[in-house]
Structure 1
């Protein structure tokens, strides 16, 4: 008779904790959160403050993190696996100042979690305080890149760079997600210059993007808003517009690896902001900031005239809307101070005009 050993009891799900200022949120923080989320069933993230960023307080920075780690049902959404992140921005008035001793900070967090009825099993940190903090909470500790070898930066360094004005931010921006960088009015440097094509519905924008990419021997980035609109069968909600603007930036960054000389971009965050106003009569301030930095993000902006034959593909508005959309795009570009070149004629003529402008 074969002896069958009893199955080991299932390991109970664990809850993790990350505490930090996230001022500003940077790639090192993302490494910390990604690592933590991969090891727990739930992750609590407390965005600390006192003193706080006078421009973007802790609740706003927490909101940025929620956007970066937003769950989504679409296949290519930016997930951190199935782990939900509970991200809380703590107002400065509710917490002890930085100068307070370790015990005061530890007790504040312990009491805050107790008031929430939240048990913590493991603390993740990239700082020396981590082990003692975790022990005080009766939790395990996991250190993540304490020596800053994977992401060689820190909040202190980035705050100093930001204080030196956007023009002086330089290469430091590579350590910040472009969505977050835009909230501070800066654009991460890139080795591949970008050109962007704008235009009303059925103005030949996508056809021209393909033709330009072929003519220039480079990569192009499709309009993600169109992709998501189709995936959700047209049922976009207000929050999707900010997601579209942020996801478009990520796709552009991914495409630079395949680009040669230029990266061709089909639409930008400014147009996404226009659609937010069109569909929902409002626009998220974070999306507005993405729109405001479009001048720095793209070396050239081209606008396709709505003179091509209208094609009703089942997703577009009526043909008469094209003229209004075209005028709205031009008005927005001029209000934002973004120079642009109008494109008309055949695809070949438009390609020729773009190539002449690129030099």
Structure 2
């Protein structure tokens, strides 16, 4: 049986990270025991420098437990952001040998050894030879994922289909959806989940539960600050997965904007990446409904006190007004709310 290379290397601008980059990283991670990722450019992006882009990658591949660090499947990722100021990154325009030698010396200074290089660019084979390791090409022709960083920088909206929702939000765009997404917001115990399930059954489609509730229960209520961004990212991914199975419409319980509210509520701060995801909710959903907190309150052991419902309801309405997101308030029984939603969607 051939020996699995211990450490792989991927080098790139990731400006910004797109689905082609994710294909490269995921293909590489499947073939090594550990993957090193170097993120840099010179000149760098003034709006989203390498350190920020590297953090996006870490967020894309972090799991439920922060201590695990980013990983793809069982393969851990070590993601480094380099800069001209601190690492001596050469200008992008210099010759290939200078670029290759910079990486070789940087790795040596860090005491890092690599066994194989992965790339989706023509420079890959020569780069690997300079490092004295094999090279693996991944979709150089862009046949599987026809996108490039240059194209995304030129037209982020036009290239949004090739961006993860987290990354797209940082650029102020939203990937297109195969079916309209309808989101339901509301205070705790305001009937969102019940209504989503009833609508999905009535319309013969699927719905997406609130992932924040799922993780909250998994961690026995001990959420950390960094979990809030993770919740928004996973919820967006679950929406995209469900959209592929939906028929005509997808119903969603909660969005990133509400997750941002909970970040402020629990931790008095909100990650800028999460704020960006909250800011594009008006574009992400075709219609927003707010469930009035008029159904009987059910304390299931995970919710706050009933007295908070009115405050939470008001904060959600304030946030929608702040983002200029139109919404429809639904009240009454489940059957009455289903009828109100179906009438509004028609």
Number of residue pairs matched by the alignment: 342
Cα pair 2:184 2:288 within 8 Å, conserved:
yes
Cα pair 1:206 1:222 within 8 Å, conserved:
yes
- 1:212 partner SS: helix
Instruction: Identify the residue that residue 32 of structure 1 maps to in structure 2.
Output: 24
Q: Whole-Å Cα distance in 1 between the matches of residues 117 and 178 of structure 2?
A: 38
- 1:84 partner SS: strand
Give runs of aligned pairs for residues 189-338 of structure 1, distance below 5 A. 189-338=176-325
Give runs of aligned pairs for residues 59-70 of structure 1, distance below 5 A. 59-70=51-62
* Residue 97 of structure 1 pairs with residue 84 of structure 2: no
Deviates more, 1:48-57 or 1:233-242: 48-57
Among 69, 73, 81, which residue is 2:73 paired with? 81
Instruction: Identify the residue that residue 37 of structure 2 maps to in structure 1.
Output: 45
Give runs of aligned pairs for residues 43-192 of structure 1, distance below 5 A. 43-73=35-65, 80-93=72-85, 94-162=88-156, 169-170=157-158, 172-192=159-179
Cα pair 1:192 1:259 within 8 Å, conserved:
yes
- 1:142 partner SS: strand
Pairwise CA distance, 1:79? 5.5
Pairwise CA distance, 1:178? 1.1
Pairwise CA distance, 1:351? 0.9
**CA distance 1:328–1:263, shift in 2 (3 Å):** same
Cα pair 2:17 2:57 within 8 Å, conserved:
yes
**CA distance 1:79–1:346, shift in 2 (3 Å):** farther
Taking only aligned residues, the RMSD between alpha carbons, in angstroms, comes to 1.7
Larger Rg, first or second structure (1 or 2): 1
Q: Whole-Å Cα distance in 2 between the matches of residues 290 and 173 of structure 1?
A: 14
Spell out structure 1 runs of 4+ moving beyond 6 A.
Answer: none
Instruction: Normalising by structure 1, report the TM-score.
Output: 0.92
Q: Whole-Å Cα distance in 2 between the matches of residues 79 and 63 of structure 1?
A: 13
Cα pair 2:70 2:78 within 8 Å, conserved:
no
Q: Whole-Å Cα distance in 2 between the matches of residues 274 and 160 of structure 1?
A: 33
Q: Whole-Å Cα distance in 2 between the matches of residues 257 and 286 of structure 1?
A: 26
Q: Whole-Å Cα distance in 2 between the matches of residues 21 and 152 of structure 1?
A: 17
Q: Whole-Å Cα distance in 1 between the matches of residues 34 and 19 of structure 2?
A: 21
